[in-house]
A = this chain, B = another copy of it.
Amino acid sequence: VPATEVDIAEAEEFIRLHHEENHDLGPVEDRLAEVHAEIAATGTYRHTTTELTFGARVAWRNSARCIGRLYWRSLKVRDLRDLHDPKEVADECVEHLRIATNAGKIRPVMTVFAPDEPGHPGPRVRNEQLIRYAAYRGPDGGVLGDRRNLELTDLAITRGWQPPRTRGPFDVLPVLVETSDGESGMVDLPPDAVLEVPLSHPELPWLAKLGLRWHAVPVISNMRMRIGGIDYPAAPFNGWYMGTEIGARNLADNDRYDLLPYLGKRMGLDTSCEQTLWRDRALVELNRAVLHSFAEAGVTITDHHTESQRFLTHVQKEEAAGRKCPTDWTWIVPPMSGSLTPVFHRYYDKEEQVPNFFPNGTTGVCPVIH
């Protein structure tokens, strides 16, 4: 990703938005003149901390795939833009986890590291999320762990990471950080920074004995945040989990832990044909286990029914504020029991807006919700 000069129109649009939504900032012209001058002189400009915090919150508000946006104003932003060094960045990722975890009462947090500058890209986190479970290929072609992280696991091992003596399905990988000039840093996550929840089921005692678990905090760490034409390639952020992310996707997808066939058999279901809906039954029980276990452990989590209703409240609030609420139906409707949730039964605005998050490895702004 070559770091280029800033798009002045996008910068100006953002500065105007910031002032429009915050009348106490006073007239916008002074700040616009400053930004113009700074871009003319350096090819880029530096957000004030207030702008950065506002921009990060609006990036969340504009995340068309996020059902949790009702809370967008509550995002806590850590301004660590002066950090470039991979080791220091990784260490502050650990600190992010501690602050966000908060002994189970999870706080939405973002840590912003150095932005891309002309000729000088910022650092990048290689992990998709700060906490990822390793995946090991077995001799028979099978995989132990989370298949999604095969590549990351290989990379960590290449860089010198030592898997635990006894490899397991839930080995936490280190955080890997890189810069464009080939420097890299790797830091193991200390146990006190990784709160995990062992899974049990309210009615199926054998489930607790399977050793299933999941981590408490989902910190997405590989997305590029774009605010007013500036790209922040390392700006890990977290909310709390919605149960289906763990129970209907991470532990259930064929190319993740693929637990349903095993659970179906343990539940004694007739798995000989699809008409018995054994998959659907096992899915519901796995999701009950997730919600039950997080509640038992005192870790914040939400269910898809409650969160769908809250999201519609958010859409209404946005409309009342005179704003569009860009929304991707295919991501907002939960991966199970879709039509039971009110978000299923309507259409949404579809134009992407910036500030926003984009996959790392892309450039600029993507105008369509595909």
Contact = CB atoms under 8 A, between A and B. Distances in A.
Interface string A304-330: 011000000000000000000000011
A274 interface: yes
Contacts of A276: 288
Interface stretch (A10-18, A36-44, A62-70, A332-340): A332-340
A288 B277 contact: yes
Interface in A315-367: 329-330, 333-340, 344-345, 347
A260 interface: yes
A287 interface: yes
Q: Is the interface of A mostly helix, strand, loop or mixed?
A: helix
Band of interface residues on A: 35 or more
Nearest to A309: B274
Contacts of A370: 347
Interface stretch (A94-102, A113-121, A246-254): A246-254
Nearest to A281: B284
B340 A337 contact: no
A92 interface: no
Contacts of A333: 330, 338
A99 to B, nearest CB: 26
A291 interface: yes
A34 interface: no
A352 B355 CA distance: 32
A280 B340 contact: yes
Contacts of A212: none
A217 interface: no
A330 B346 CA distance: 11
A299 to B, nearest CB: 13
Given A275-B306, A347-B370, 7 more contacts: A275-B291, A277-B284, A279-B337, A280-B287, A334-B338, A336-B336, A336-B338
22 contacts: A252-B339, A253-B339, A260-B340, A274-B303, A274-B305, A275-B291, A275-B292, A277-B284, A277-B288, A277-B291, A279-B305, A280-B284, A280-B287, A281-B284, A284-B284, A330-B330, A330-B333, A335-B339, A336-B337, A336-B338, A336-B340, A337-B337
